[in-house]
Structure 1
Amino acid sequence: MPDQPPDKFQMHPWRRRARSTPGPAAGPVLEDRAAFVDLVVSSNFSFLRGASHPEELVAAAAALGAPAIGITDRHTVSGMVRAHLAAREAGIHLVPGARVELWRDRKAGAEKMDWERRNPLTPPSDRVEVAIHALDLEGWRTLCRLLTIGKRAAPKGHCLLTVHDLLQHHAGIAVTVLPAQSIDRFRIEVVEGLATLGDLKRRDALSLGVQRLGGADDDLHVERIADLSRRLDVPLLAQNDVHLHASERRSVQDVLTCIRLGCVIETAGRRLWPNDERRLRNGASMAARFPEHPEAVARSLEIAERSRACRLDRLRYQYPAEVVPKARTPMAHLRDLVERGARTRFGPTIPDSVRRQLEHELELIEELDYPRYFLTVEDLVRFARSRSILCQGRGAAANSAVCYCLGITAVDPTRIDMLFERFISRERDEPPDIDIDFEHERREEVLQYVYEKYGRDRAALVAEVVTFRGRSAMREVATVMGLSRDLVDRLATDIEWWIDGVADRERVRELGLDPDDPTIHRIFQIAEAMLGFPRHLSQHVGGFVITDGPLWGMVPVENAAMADRTVIEWDKDDVDAMGMLKIDCLSLGMLSCIRRTIDLINEDRSGDDGGGLGG
């Protein structure tokens, strides 16, 4: 199973919602003209780049008095739901976005997409980085579509987008060309192309990013970008390339960089940033940094204000319609199937108690608009049985007489006292969750049936966020800090005593280490800070989401490591928070054992008059 942190490390805001009080609604961004909004911000969902959780960045922005914050993780929006919920709780506006590489063409991108591992100090000259911000819901769909295009064109963990992709898809977004070490010819061509082709400039949605991060040539670089801004008539946008919510996380940032680039602290050199300047700042600080370009600071407020039409809680999930025959409503079709199944289960006379239970459940299903969810699950079960694939629903769904009549579960409502509200309740703001076990050797047939029926643009597996826990954090940090391999192994394999994040001094001495040694102390300090940090995205064991329209209308889709599988960027908590219904198609080895047992019995009985067992 993927490495998941306990709740005490970093609980998802959706799970924490019952314990917290929502903050005030976000007010107009332009209330304070002296304010500033950091729009280019990387959280730890940029994977081994940002050193702060999205929730920490949002809270820090609110503490600085910022009216809004932009989150632009690299090639992903996998942390956006967490940021959205945190911003709603803090009472500030979230400007959703992403930071992407744009290549001259796909061939160049495919050949050089691993350039950081080979030569991180010399970026290729045929790429440029931009920050994309969604200004409205159409812009959010554009962003998700671009990320889907880039990720479907590349291996897992990569994104391959070209300038042409952005010129084709730019409705509802604002684009900021981010600063680089030099202003080369390709960069100028990109800005010229974005300014003259499409409608970005006409909509005043194109900017040139400018930053001062404590470098010796900051003034010269700012003036060169300002000159380009004047020549091309493209406004400046002040930004801080934020990767930290507080300067104390710089050591974590350094370690994450070394893990990503495969080096150790001692030899990292200029691959590490020279200071902790990439952090959130307030309006007064930014005004002091850009006294000659106040319009660049004010530009952040303008973009934030224009993005107020893009609120993720306005996204509406639509369940697919294929499971409903033409000229029928989902509820009418569900009632027909339940009635037919009830007569199959109980005969022509359905017990009064069952009839009452069914009516109670159906009324609640109709009220909460879940009939198509039940029809989809019934369709999967029917397909599996048509292929003689053993399957069985379980979990809270066993409290449903509707599931029993649809053949999803095998719990007879006449033999137990059912509590349907344990499964579905109007008081709980949670979608239903039906777990279906299939024979583990044949589950892939069911998964591919889903892909074939709905298409890969409308069906995908839910993501799983693989995170740093005790052993993985200790192993990675100790390796980066230069400890020997045998000592790293001893630290990592003996981690149970440290799982709460507190090192026992005597236990450290037993391992032959001095707990007062600065390096050892720093290793434990950094490893503890990294507990719960996302490492990468994996795929859920079997959770599917299916939509009526393209999935990229809500969330990007990427290739999985396994062949013939695609995955969305959100995990199960994100999906629940956004009101998307998930179907769990799980595998169970014991069902495969039962299948083989049935087959063996049928083989022995093949010559007998008694016939074989059904499957």
Structure 2
Amino acid sequence: MGWQNPAIPWREFERRLSWHGGRRPPDVASPAAEQPPARTAAPAEQDEQPPWAELHCHSSYSFLDGCSSPAALVAEALRLGIQTLALTDHDGMYGVAQFAEAARGTGLRTVFGAELSLGLAAPQTGVADPQGRHLLVLARDSTGYRRLSRAIGAAQLAGGQKGRPRYDLDQLSAAHDGHWVVLTGCRKGAVPAALATYGAAAAERELRELVDRFGRDNVCVELVDHDQPLDDARNDALAVLADRVGVGVVASNNVHYAGPSEADLAATVAAVRARRSLDEMAGWLPATRTAHLRSGTEMAARLARFPGVQEATAELARACAFDFEEVAPQLPDRKVPTGYTESQHLRRLTREGALRRYGSLVEHPLAYAQLERELDVIIGGGYTGYFLIVHEIVAFCREERILCQGRGSAANSAVCYALGITGVDAVRHQLLFERFLSPGRDGPPDIDLDIENARREEVIQHVYDTYGREHAAQVANVISYRPKMAIRDVGRALGYSPGQQDAWSKSVGLGEFESSDELPAMVRDLATRVKRLPRHLGIHSGGMVICDRPVGEVCPVEWARMPGRSVIQWDKDDCAWLGLIKFDLLGLFAALRQCLVGMTRDTPTHRRRCLLPQPRRRNRHGQHHLPTPNLPPNQENPPRQPRSVRHRPPGERQRRYQHRRPTDRAVLPRRRDEVTQLAIAGSHTRRSRSPVRSGPT
């Protein structure tokens, strides 16, 4: 988004500002002295309003170059009666999952693409008018999406650092294979930029180069009208060029916000991106508030001089629309013993584990009945591969003597207990399996693995080595604005001093500021609206995804801020919606490792008292080889732990983990002193799944 002062005399500029009726005075010289060729209008659809599709649209996932969420864009498009909407954020597919989810079931057709930044020498954060040329690419189908996603990921990694993708036009032209449509784009596109700087001949050369690279049927000239003085002349010239070269013409609004009321927010985030105030950005910001979605009726009036362009735009959009769920991947096939299917192999591993954990069927028939019931649900839901992968990771940790334990609702599964993933006997404690997984549950199961932090990298590298770096990746964490940062950035954009920004940010603490009287009304309003926007990507604490195809074909991979780390462009919720299953490898056992190592330095008597073996040798990290933190078989999961429950009087256990709330203190005096009862009481007051809400955890 943005507008540069043209390299023309101010007198000429004033003449163009005085135009009336949208026509150019006949004495004004222009590269497009010819009138645009007449075009035959396609038959209008018998709808309430003329057909229209928006093919060039930036969401808030263009990161400070767009300020409407994908869901807000979808809602506004539906209100305006737009039939098809494309999402084309900068150099990525950050918002496509949310976009597809918001449009699902609404009747709005979706097109997926991206605006590629060519020729970047460095990241453009802090630059008022970002460098580089733009190339707008739309995927014709799911194959085109996979090719575009892979090309973006390759460019992001080739750049060597976050924020500097390095595209190779030869590679792009070889990758599309007829599955992309390339538009000439905004003022930063190669064709419009050449037209504005060097004239029609240079623009024609750029357009012919695009045709040579991508094919005549895959290139369209894009007309954009933002009510700026040079728009009519540029669009006339582009239409002439399209006719001369023999390519199609479409139109767009180069959308950066859903409606005109968000233009001030768009200008504010542009100033934040440039690290300047709005006053300092005056020469680069658009002079009009027009980069928003419009209805088909309004576009019919705007495109009256270009017959057939509106219909051609809608037709191209219909041809490129597809259901995003076609991109959904599966888990990779696991290697299983000869003669076994994955389901048979999982049943075999479960039976072997059950013999170790429970004994024979005769000794514990209830446990085996529960195992069979759970296996039917797991296999019937298509989650066999998921459990095999988690079992393999846990087995690797146990073999390498890395502390590892499953936690969370996975402890409700007897299968997880039999496979050694968790250490809690769900049968003995009568835990509800359906809280972990049930046929009516939407989405895959979620098993969190706690791993000692010092050796978590070994586990991550093992996953990469086992499944291949192309098929495994870490999940991103979308960092949204917090109150303090929102106030600082808005204050800077509005021209307030750093001292004033600090004072305001300190006045709100960590809480909300919508009702604060200490903030000026404009600061409070803009900060409230900015607070919901994504600011940048981080790395999820331990989430990894594994799939049966290169991850880059599902979502582009890019460098993270942490040196040597790469992430996909989606967060965990986006992955879950599309069925890209996430594995959580969390580093929460660091304190336990330090505790165990500390105890091994004590006397042999102390080690026996703590149920710890004699250390045999140290590994390459200088740590003792110790077992996973399960108790010996004869002392696992004692039904009662009176010392852990009764060491404080009933109702006074305010400092117990997960039993700090007022609701807990009211419930605990009324229950029996058993671990099971404590677990049930805690589950009823947990914020995430609780029927009882007593405040944040």
- TM category (shorter chain) comes to 0.7 to 0.9
Deviation, 1:165, is 2.4
Identity of aligned residues (%): 32
The alpha-carbon distance between structure 1 residues 188 and 340, as it changes in their structure 2 partners (threshold 3 A), is farther
Inter-partner Cα distance in structure 1 for 2:531 and 2:554: 29
- Say yes or no: does 1:409 pair with 2:422: yes
Inter-partner Cα distance in structure 1 for 2:573 and 2:613: 48
The one-letter code sitting in structure 2 at the alignment partner of 1:42 is H
The alpha-carbon distance between structure 1 residues 276 and 317, as it changes in their structure 2 partners (threshold 3 A), is same
The one-letter code sitting in structure 1 at the alignment partner of 2:552 is W
- Say yes or no: does 1:156 pair with 2:162: yes
Matches within 5 A, 1:236-251: 236-251=249-264
Inter-partner Cα distance in structure 1 for 2:105 and 2:158: 37
Matches within 5 A, 1:295-374: 295-308=308-321, 310-349=322-361, 351-374=364-387
Deviation, 1:606, is 10
**Match of 1:166, SS?**
helix
The one-letter code sitting in structure 1 at the alignment partner of 2:336 is V
- Work out which of the residue numbers 407, 414, 432 in structure 2 matches 1:394: 407
The one-letter code sitting in structure 2 at the alignment partner of 1:522 is M
- Work out which of the residue numbers 156, 173, 181 in structure 2 matches 1:174: 181
Deviation, 1:327, is 4.3
Task: Report the equivalent of 1:541.
Answer: 541
Matches within 5 A, 1:40-439: 40-103=56-119, 109=120, 112-114=121-123, 117-118=126-127, 120=129, 123=131, 127-154=132-159, 155-171=161-177, 172-180=179-187, 181-183=193-195, 184=198, 188-198=204-214, 200-201=215-216, 204-308=217-321, 310-349=322-361, 351-439=364-452
Higher relative contact order (CA 8 A, sep 6+): 1
**Match of 2:298, SS?**
helix
Inter-partner Cα distance in structure 2 for 1:331 and 1:306: 41
The alpha-carbon distance between structure 1 residues 253 and 611, as it changes in their structure 2 partners (threshold 3 A), is closer
Query: Does the Cα contact within 8 Å between 2:449 and 2:584 map onto a contact in 1?
Result: yes
- Say yes or no: does 1:503 pair with 2:509: no
Query: Does the Cα contact within 8 Å between 2:74 and 2:99 map onto a contact in 1?
Result: yes
**Match of 1:45, SS?**
helix
Matches within 5 A, 1:534-613: 534-588=534-588, 589-597=590-598, 599-601=600-602, 612=614
Which stretch has the larger CA shift, 316-325 or 580-589? 316-325
Query: Does the Cα contact within 8 Å between 1:497 and 1:504 map onto a contact in 2?
Result: no
The alpha-carbon distance between structure 1 residues 233 and 545, as it changes in their structure 2 partners (threshold 3 A), is same
Deviation, 1:44, is 0.5
Inter-partner Cα distance in structure 1 for 2:460 and 2:280: 46
Which stretch has the larger CA shift, 177-186 or 523-532? 177-186
What 5-or-longer segments of structure 2 have no aligned partner? 1-43, 188-192, 616-625, 628-697
Deviation, 1:189, is 4.5
- Say yes or no: does 1:528 pair with 2:528: yes
Query: Does the Cα contact within 8 Å between 1:30 and 1:305 map onto a contact in 2?
Result: no
**Match of 1:83, SS?**
helix
The one-letter code sitting in structure 2 at the alignment partner of 1:378 is H
The alpha-carbon distance between structure 1 residues 156 and 90, as it changes in their structure 2 partners (threshold 3 A), is same
The alpha-carbon distance between structure 1 residues 212 and 415, as it changes in their structure 2 partners (threshold 3 A), is same
**Match of 2:257, SS?**
coil
The one-letter code sitting in structure 1 at the alignment partner of 2:162 is K
Inter-partner Cα distance in structure 2 for 1:271 and 1:456: 42
**Match of 1:169, SS?**
helix
The one-letter code sitting in structure 2 at the alignment partner of 1:312 is F
Query: Does the Cα contact within 8 Å between 1:128 and 1:177 map onto a contact in 2?
Result: no
Inter-partner Cα distance in structure 1 for 2:604 and 2:233: 83
Deviation, 1:592, is 2.6
Inter-partner Cα distance in structure 2 for 1:562 and 1:326: 42
**Match of 1:374, SS?**
helix
Deviation, 1:414, is 3.9
Inter-partner Cα distance in structure 2 for 1:55 and 1:119: 28
Task: Report the equivalent of 2:19.
Answer: none
The one-letter code sitting in structure 2 at the alignment partner of 1:221 is R
**Match of 2:308, SS?**
helix
Query: Does the Cα contact within 8 Å between 1:323 and 1:375 map onto a contact in 2?
Result: no
Deviation, 1:187, is 5.8
Which stretch has the larger CA shift, 266-275 or 437-446? 266-275
**Match of 2:85, SS?**
strand
Deviation, 1:323, is 4.4
Task: Report the equivalent of 2:37.
Answer: none
The one-letter code sitting in structure 2 at the alignment partner of 1:276 is R
The alpha-carbon distance between structure 1 residues 601 and 360, as it changes in their structure 2 partners (threshold 3 A), is farther
Inter-partner Cα distance in structure 2 for 1:384 and 1:584: 14
Query: Does the Cα contact within 8 Å between 1:602 and 1:611 map onto a contact in 2?
Result: no
The one-letter code sitting in structure 2 at the alignment partner of 1:612 is Q
The one-letter code sitting in structure 2 at the alignment partner of 1:166 is L
- Say yes or no: does 1:489 pair with 2:502: yes
Deviation, 1:528, is 0.7
CA deviations on 1:542-570 (whole Å, 9 max, x unpaired) are 11110111112221111222234321111
Deviation, 1:89, is 4.3
**Match of 1:270, SS?**
coil
Query: Does the Cα contact within 8 Å between 1:36 and 1:282 map onto a contact in 2?
Result: yes
Inter-partner Cα distance in structure 2 for 1:523 and 1:606: 61
Inter-partner Cα distance in structure 1 for 2:607 and 2:339: 46
Inter-partner Cα distance in structure 2 for 1:186 and 1:382: 63
Inter-partner Cα distance in structure 1 for 2:497 and 2:605: 60
Task: Report the equivalent of 1:12.
Answer: none
Rg bigger for which structure? 2
Inter-partner Cα distance in structure 2 for 1:570 and 1:241: 24
Which stretch has the larger CA shift, 218-227 or 384-393? 218-227
What 5-or-longer segments of structure 1 have no aligned partner? 1-28, 104-108, 509-514
The alpha-carbon distance between structure 1 residues 189 and 376, as it changes in their structure 2 partners (threshold 3 A), is farther
Write 1 or 2 for the structure with the bigger share of helix: 1
The one-letter code sitting in structure 2 at the alignment partner of 1:76 is G
Task: Report the equivalent of 1:452.
Answer: 465
Query: Does the Cα contact within 8 Å between 1:605 and 1:612 map onto a contact in 2?
Result: no
The one-letter code sitting in structure 1 at the alignment partner of 2:163 is G
Deviation, 1:604, is 8.9
**Match of 2:454, SS?**
coil
Deviation, 1:586, is 0.3
Task: Report the equivalent of 2:478.
Answer: 465
Deviation, 1:605, is 8.4
The one-letter code sitting in structure 1 at the alignment partner of 2:388 is L
Query: Does the Cα contact within 8 Å between 1:259 and 1:476 map onto a contact in 2?
Result: yes
- Say yes or no: does 1:474 pair with 2:487: yes
Report the TM-score, using the length of structure 2 for normalisation: 0.76
Deviation, 1:464, is 0.8
The one-letter code sitting in structure 1 at the alignment partner of 2:334 is E
Inter-partner Cα distance in structure 1 for 2:403 and 2:125: 48
Deviation, 1:157, is 2.9
Deviation, 1:38, is 1.1
The one-letter code sitting in structure 2 at the alignment partner of 1:575 is C
Deviation, 1:130, is 1.9
Query: Does the Cα contact within 8 Å between 2:599 and 2:606 map onto a contact in 1?
Result: no
Report the TM-score, using the length of structure 1 for normalisation: 0.86
The one-letter code sitting in structure 2 at the alignment partner of 1:162 is D
Query: Does the Cα contact within 8 Å between 1:460 and 1:565 map onto a contact in 2?
Result: no
Query: Does the Cα contact within 8 Å between 2:194 and 2:202 map onto a contact in 1?
Result: no
Deviation, 1:602, is 8.1
Query: Does the Cα contact within 8 Å between 1:601 and 1:612 map onto a contact in 2?
Result: no
The one-letter code sitting in structure 2 at the alignment partner of 1:179 is C
